[in-house]
Amino acid sequence: MGQPHGLPHGLPLSQSPIHMTPIDLRSDTVTRPTAAMRRAMAEAEVGDDVLDGDPTVRHLETRVAEMLGKEAALYFPSGTMANQTAVWLLTRPGTEILLDAGSHIVNYEGAGAAALSGVQVRPVQGTGPVMDAAALKASMRPRSPHVLQASAIAVENTHNGAGGKVLSLTELQAIRDVAREAELGIHMDGARLWNASAASGTALRDFAACADTVMVSFSKGLGAPVGAALTGTRALMVEGWLVRKRFGGGMRQSGILAAAALHALDNHLARLPDDHANARAFAEAVDGAGGARVVPPDTNIVMIDLPAGLDASALVAAAADAGVLIAPWSHTRVRAVFHLDATADMAQRAGAVVRAALTKTSKATPTRVNASPAGG
């Protein structure tokens, strides 16, 4: 996940009431491995994955490649490293990569495209909440030796910053067509592609067919402690193996970690609709409270847009006081994410708490009169 510039990662647990365990909705990365997952990890068959291969990692890579309909997959320590490897593979130094202005690669990866691959990031603002084919097409520069040339496009599905929004297959195909026409590579950041598939009924492989490389994460909704995979053609993944090593992502007995991902695919993939239902219930409870507006959730992420004059930090602090941890996304937007460790009962209790906190804080905060955008 990413955090907005200049804002705290969330409140320390010590700021929530001591007598109760807080309901932690700051991210779907906060889940702890279950007892069964820990057992699967402890019992994993392992080898040296840098030297000559770890059998459990191989098993995971084969399975993920099959699920996504790609020739090959590589297991990575993080989604960020997998994304950055894809950027390296699909671009050339001194070119640009076009992607949604609110995407993870633009905002939360330490300018990796510039620092690691020598590529300029070109943020594209969608006509709607997410970059669409029309906006992308309008951003294409003319082919000319005087004009900076693009080498790749990236999409994010679900789109985190837009509130776990699912990009439809139709829109993705249209984006792919723009990429093909311009002879550009296309990467899909599918950290939550599992959620997109569960919510839309579109098969993972149909989504994946819209991109040359696809990243999926195991440590978000699937509840594994770490890890992601990058998929694509065999030739790209052979090169990707070297890039992963260069970035420091070669791991030895990594079957211990891959076993958690395999366990998650077997046991946690099918329950993602529960998170989506919990997000909807929470969103309905909160929408309208104190003048706040909730973006109707497609999946497991709920974005709350605050009424004028109420800063995100005030709501986050009030909710934490009442035992619910949510995260500031910007000064005017707060995010709540549903996951393996958040039950339907917790979603309901959290909804009531945040509703009450919104009502209280929006009354306590005087509304700014004549607030001008130019006033900063």
Tokens at residue 11, please? 């409140």
Residues in the chain, overall count = 376
Site stretch for ligand PLP (CB under 6 A), options 73-81, 114-122, 132-140, 337-345: 73-81
The number of CA neighbours under 13 Å toward the Cβ of 101 is: 9
Site stretch for ligand PLP (CB under 6 A), options 72-80, 239-247, 265-273, 342-350: 72-80
Q: To the nearest whole angstrom, how small is the minimum distance from the Cβ of residue 213 to ligand PLP?
A: 13
Residue 1 contacts ligand PLP per CB under 6 A: yes
Residue 335 contacts ligand PLP per CB under 6 A: no
Q: To the nearest whole angstrom, how small is the minimum distance from the Cβ of residue 102 to ligand PLP?
A: 10
Rounded to 5 degrees, φ, ψ at 2 are -130, 160
Quickly count: other Cβ atoms within 10 Å of residue 128's Cβ.
Answer: 12
Q: To the nearest whole angstrom, how small is the minimum distance from the Cβ of residue 364 to ligand PLP?
A: 33
Distance, in Å, from the CA atom of 117 to the CA atom of 114, rounded to the nearest integer, reads 6
104, 165, 176, 333: which one contacts ligand PLP (CB under 6 A)? 104
24, 96, 156, 274: which one contacts ligand PLP (CB under 6 A)? 156
Residue 275 contacts ligand PLP per CB under 6 A: no
3-state helix, strand, coil in the chain (%, to 5): 45, 15, 40
Closer CB to ligand PLP, residue 104 or residue 268? 104
Closer CB to ligand PLP, residue 156 or residue 274? 156
Residue 200 contacts ligand PLP per CB under 6 A: no
Residue 187 contacts ligand PLP per CB under 6 A: no
Distance, in Å, from the CA atom of 162 to the CA atom of 175, rounded to the nearest integer, reads 18
Residue 152 contacts ligand PLP per CB under 6 A: no
Residue 78 contacts ligand PLP per CB under 6 A: yes
Return all residues near 58 (Cβ < 8 A) that are at least 6 apart: none
| Contacts of ligand PLP in 203-262 (CB under 6 A) | 217, 219, 228
SS3 label, residue 3: coil
H helices of 204-327, in order, are: 204-208, 234-246, 255-267, 272-286, 312-321
Residue 318 contacts ligand PLP per CB under 6 A: no
Tokens at residue 365, please? 């905060």
Return all residues near 43 (Cβ < 8 A) that are at least 6 apart: 259
Beta strand ranges found along the chain (DSSP E)? 23-24, 72-76, 96-100, 120-124, 150-156, 185-190, 213-217, 228-232, 293-294, 301-305, 324-325, 327-328, 333-337
Residue labelled with tokens 């010590």? 14
The one-character DSSP state at 224 is -
Closer CB to ligand PLP, residue 191 or residue 210? 191
Size of the site for ligand PLP (CB under 6 A): 13
Site stretch for ligand PLP (CB under 6 A), options 74-82, 177-185, 245-253, 322-330: 74-82
Residue 102 contacts ligand PLP per CB under 6 A: no
Q: To the nearest whole angstrom, how small is the minimum distance from the Cβ of residue 362 to ligand PLP?
A: 29
Residue 56 contacts ligand PLP per CB under 6 A: no
107, 160, 213, 361: which one contacts ligand PLP (CB under 6 A)? 160
Closer CB to ligand PLP, residue 40 or residue 99? 99
Point out which residues bind ligand PLP (CB under 6 A): 1, 78-80, 83, 104, 156, 160, 189, 191, 217, 219, 228
